[in-house]
Amino acid sequence: MSSIPSSPDSGSAPRLLEQVRGRIRFLHYSLRTEQAYLDWIKRFIRHFGKRHPRDMGAAEVSEFLTHLAVAGQVAASTQNQAKSALLFLYREVLDVELPWLDDVESAKAPRRLPVVLSRAEVAALLARLDGTSALVCRMLYGTGLRIMECLRLRVKDVDFERGEILVRDGKSFKDRVTMLPASIAPALREQLARVAELHRQDLAAGHGAVWLPYALERKYPNAAREWTWQYIFPSANLSVDPRAEVVRRHHVSDQAVQRALKLAVRAAGIAKPATPHTLRHSFATHLLEAGYDIRTVQELLGHSDVSTTMIYTHVLNKGGRGVRSPLDGLDGKVLREPAAEYRIAA
């Protein structure tokens, strides 16, 4: 099986995918972004018989994106992710400024209202969860965190005295502060006690390290094993870091939480396509229903633009934009069938 070609300029140059991987890691992109971009670049190259991207241009990129939409029938978000991967390849790796790439039409994602649960549905859902997934989902609804923001929390990020949680490197690499619900604090303290015992066991076995961002591990060699840097929701098993190839304890998988929530939704008889992100939507909507101003909700959610937060005001409207139907104003009067002489002929 032949591999993806290396640079056509030099036989000793790093292979193209190695260059892409190195650039992604230099810019501190997440592992998921790395995997997604590499996959799209490989698909792009293979689609054109493994030609090198330097030998291709606007026509090939446009054809590939059109192929995804027409033949592949992918969602708009999927097509846009593929475009982002190719944009990264040409600009960041090949150092080729291609103005035509900005002109390639992006698929328009449909503007949909978020799925929101009622307070009763949230209570029924949370009652059917247990263990770590229960605590994570309570955190999602109680703080408005995204699921990966929650799972990546470290011990140092929770301040029980101030009742707040510091979110590091959220979406778009932004930090923000959100509240720590008083009702969840006791359970969170118990979770930290269990994590502390697990950490002691790991240290005794010669492990106890976690992944650190931005070369902090080189700057502070012992920090990875310090208590303050440990994940609040660690995985039950040790694993090999795919980048550093060392044994570490990572955080709980988001897929495990998603599976647990899906079962709970089914058990609660909720007829909505609820996911962990639905709890974030419910957090925002219920705050607005309680009378909190939209700017406060915007800050808690970490939205750059208030227009993003405004979508929850549409969810607040009941029926047709909050307008009461005239049918509901009949006050229980009996609706009788019109007399025969006033009926419209078929």
Residues annotated as part of the active site: 146, 171, 277, 280, 303, 312
**Which pair of structure tokens corresponds to residue 66?**
């059109």
Ramachandran sector of residue 292 (left: φ over 0; alpha: ψ -120 to 50; beta: rest): beta
Q: Are 145 and 302 in contact (CB under 8 A)?
A: no
Residue that is written with structure tokens 């493994």 in the block: 50
Q: Which residue has the tokens 């709970």?
A: 264
| Interatomic CA distance for residues 75 and 90, integer angstroms | 23
Strands 176-179 and 164-167: antiparallel
Cβ–Cβ < 8 Å for 38, 21: yes
**CB burial class (10 A; 0-12, 13-18, 19+) of residue 20?**
buried
From CA 122, how far away is CA 109, in angstroms rounded?
28
